[in-house]
Chains A and B, each alone.
Chain A
Amino acid sequence: MNILQDTGSYALLMKRVLVAPDRWRMFFRQFPKELEKLGLQSLPIVIIISVFIGAIMTIQTKLNTENPLLPTYSTGLVTRDTLLLEFSSTILCLILAGKIGSNIASEIGTMRITEQIDALEIMGVNSANYLILPKIAAFIFMMPFLVIFSMAVGLGGGYLVGVFTDIITTADYLLGIQYAFIPYYVFYSLVKSVVFAFLISSVAAYYGYYAYGGALDVGKASTNAVVNSSILILFFNLLITNLMLNQ
């Protein structure tokens, strides 16, 4: 019953969010702020995680596939495809669901319990649209850039393994990441990231918007936002993968 009720409330909230803003000027004032907060401020964590995962993936692939029958480029190829297909979209979004999801839910939740949302409503402002739309739009706009950045930095992490260790040569790695490259994988990854960006920002905003009580309840709303958006990411990952790759 709760799932049905939550789904209904979420749909009604989105109906209020996804309309033209009362004042475009106010939207375009909020939009760059959200780009900076949700996108640019996520860059450090994207860089750190992508470099390390790229490097670790290269080492593990090489060490676990020691076989003279396998071509030397296979390590680079596996690293590249794993980054392109799953890590830089799904895993990165799961990590960002924690960072961005809790940020959005706690910000909007605090505004709710301190009556700032009521104040907007009393003024006649569509508070859901004013507060949530710039966040969703900014995160959807920034996510493909974060994903492409993560792919590039992740591949760079793998390259550093070749530079600083003797596990793999840079020549083998570079050959691997260029071998049998399928550009469609990048497109597939970007499509997924846009869907996940919408899920993270809208689900977190939903839990924040309907938070009630005190500080403890805002914390609870943040936790629910992260957990539920993560579950939805995994579900939609399965769905989109089946739709786009199972041909």
Chain B
Amino acid sequence: MIEVKNIDKSFDGNHVLKNVSAVFDNGKTNMIIGASGSGKTVLMKSVIGLHRIDNGRIEYDGRNLPDMRMSDVRLLRREVGMLFQGSALFDSLSVLENVIYPLEMFAKTTKEEMVERARFCLQHVDLKEKSYNLAPSEISGGMQKRVAIARAIALQPKYLFCDEPNSGLDPQTSLIIDQLIHEITREFDITTIINSHDMNSVMEIGENIIFINKGEKAWQGSKEDIFHVDNEDLNNFVFASELYKKVKKANS
């Protein structure tokens, strides 16, 4: 479980996160939603430690990240996997080498075991053997996301972060990626945090949803609750499209 307590973050006097507190449950797909510029990416990067927060606590199962020394932060990060918006695969390595990379850095196993583990992860995300030796630039965006997921789970992380996992993907591939993240979360009992403004994802896999508005946590609940909330900002954001207005009407 990850618990965020009263965190603030400013950039050059611009107060981006204002006293945000939230709990990200273990074994669930936790979603941070909000409009562009609301501060959700800053929140995620702060939780991972890529941004140093001004105030507050970020507890990974009781371990407060801002108090840790850099060496301890590195140890903690070995328990973290991350799927970046643009996949962030290493250009100079093949698909298989990208997945082997974290194992080579930190796993104390033989080369054969590393290759076996990497193949297991790639098979788990439904990537065909013929693509293993291709460069990231030679595969599609959807396949790149799968490789990035395989790399993120290679070291069997306790915490998985996904920054806009569906950006740039068609609706069908988006759905597959969402389901893959959801399955992995359940199967390996991971604390997953997804940053998204894709309402299809929210309705599909969102179990614990946190709505960020103008740098503040405006709402937290489940996807079932979202239809019955009396929060104007949330309703304007979630039910912006005609389709979701109809869905809400049908639900209420």
Contact = CB atoms under 8 A, between A and B. Distances in A.
Nearest to A119: B88
Given A115-B86, A115-B88, A116-B88, A123 B78 contact: yes
A118 interface: yes
Given A123-B77, A124-B74, A124-B77, A118 B50 contact: yes
Contacts of B212: none
Contact of B90 (A22, A23, A116, A124): A116
A121 B50 contact: yes
Contacts of A26: 104-105
Contacts of A121: 50, 77
Interface in A113-130: 114-116, 118-119, 121-126
Interface string A1-30: 000000000000000000000110110000
| Residue among B82, B104, B105, B161 with max Cβ neighbours from chain A (10 Å) | B105
B98 to A, nearest CB: 10
Contacts of A25: 104
B105 A22 contact: yes
Given A22-B105, A23-B104, A23-B105, A118 B88 contact: yes
Interface string B56-79: 000000000000000001111110
Contacts of A115: 84-86, 88
A109 B239 CA distance: 39
B125 interface: no
A148 B133 CA distance: 40
Interface in A95-143: 114-116, 118-119, 121-126
Contacts of A126: 74
B86 A123 contact: no
Nearest to A22: B105
Given A26-B104, A123-B102, A125-B105, A114 B86 contact: yes
Interface string B87-106: 01111000000000110111
B99 to A, nearest CB: 12
Contacts of B84: 115, 118-119
Contacts of B91: 116
Contacts of B7: none
A114 B86 CA distance: 7
A118 B102 CA distance: 14
B108 to A, nearest CB: 11
| Residue among B73, B77, B161 with max Cβ neighbours from chain A (10 Å) | B77
Interface in B99-144: 101-102, 104-106
B80 interface: yes
Contact of A124 (B85, B86, B106): B106
Contacts of A123: 77-78, 101-102, 105-106, 155
Given A115-B88, A116-B88, A122 B75 contact: no
B74 A122 contact: no
B110 to A, nearest CB: 13
A114 B74 contact: no
B205 to A, nearest CB: 22
A119 B91 CA distance: 12
24 contacts: A22-B105, A23-B104, A26-B104, A114-B88, A115-B86, A115-B88, A116-B88, A116-B89, A116-B91, A118-B82, A118-B88, A119-B84, A119-B90, A121-B77, A122-B50, A122-B77, A122-B161, A123-B102, A123-B105, A123-B106, A124-B74, A124-B77, A124-B105, A125-B105
